[in-house]
Structure 1
């Protein structure tokens, strides 16, 4: 995989009409996939090294982003999801890797502004169900 531009890592939200709209104004974003380990170490584990049970722990994905408001429609959609505590389909596009899609909930929406600067926001999403992956 060649070096990719950070601006091409996209966070998209379902627009209610069967498509996805890019969450506008994000200047930074990150995506992580994690799973909880299930420790099955016992007194006869080789050298007392920890043993984990494959495929047993809960999996989750997290998305974080920060940016400025740029698009009324996507801003209103994200604001509504945050205030309602709703779960919506999101799509994370990782260039030359793939698309991760599924239900996410906005778990954090923070606004900030400096006296001589723009109003900015921080966004946090957590997966709320099974995710699918499509290679690009």
Structure 2
């Protein structure tokens, strides 16, 4: 696999619940991370006293972080309202040559910054809020 352009990782939101995803913002930096907790099932009879893990029992999660510029006033208002409502809406994250992750996410952090002679920038963090789907490209 050849190197991929970071700008090709896209973050989209289903703003009206119809499954029509629209790009939220022009993200300049972005990150998608997956994680899972473990359940330790080790007991006195574990072979060689090695730790044993209970397969498939841990909590799974995904987080998204990014920074950039809002595409327009409409996407700015949508993200801001979602944050203040504490709503979990469906997002779509496209990872080039890998796949598409879809499912509910909730905004956990939103910050705005700017200089007097520059554009308004933002940073956003989202956490998964339910089961996620994955489809290969």
Distance apart, 1:51 and its partner CA: 1.6
Instruction: Give the 4+ runs in structure 1 shifted more than 4 A.
Output: none
Q: CA RMSD in A?
A: 1.5
Is the CA contact 1:102–1:132 (under 8 Å) kept in the aligned structure 2?
yes
Distance apart, 1:69 and its partner CA: 2.6
2-side partners of 1:2 and 1:71: how far apart?
Answer: 33
Which range moved further: 111-120 or 68-77?
Answer: 111-120
Residue in structure 2 matched with residue 4 of structure 1 by the alignment: 4
The answer for unaligned runs of 5 or more in structure 1 is: none
What whole-Å deviation, never above 9, does each CA across 1:33-75 have from its counterpart, x for those lacking one?
A: 1111111122232333322111001111100011123322221
Is the CA contact 2:15–2:89 (under 8 Å) kept in the aligned structure 1?
no
TM-score, length-scaled by structure 2: 0.91
2-side partners of 1:45 and 1:72: how far apart?
Answer: 59
Which range moved further: 125-134 or 17-26?
Answer: 17-26
Residue in structure 2 matched with residue 63 of structure 1 by the alignment: 64
1-side partners of 2:96 and 2:49: how far apart?
Answer: 41
Tell me the SS of whatever aligns to 2:130: coil
2-side partners of 1:120 and 1:48: how far apart?
Answer: 53
TM-score, length-scaled by structure 1: 0.91
Residue in structure 1 matched with residue 82 of structure 2 by the alignment: 81
Is the CA contact 2:24–2:70 (under 8 Å) kept in the aligned structure 1?
no
The answer for unaligned runs of 5 or more in structure 2 is: none
Does residue 121 in structure 1 map to residue 99 in structure 2? no
Which aligned pairs between 1:1-136 and structure 2 lie closer than 5 A? 1-16=1-16, 17-136=18-137
Q: Alignment length, in residue pairs? A: 136
1-side partners of 2:114 and 2:44: how far apart?
Answer: 55
Is the CA contact 1:30–1:65 (under 8 Å) kept in the aligned structure 2?
yes
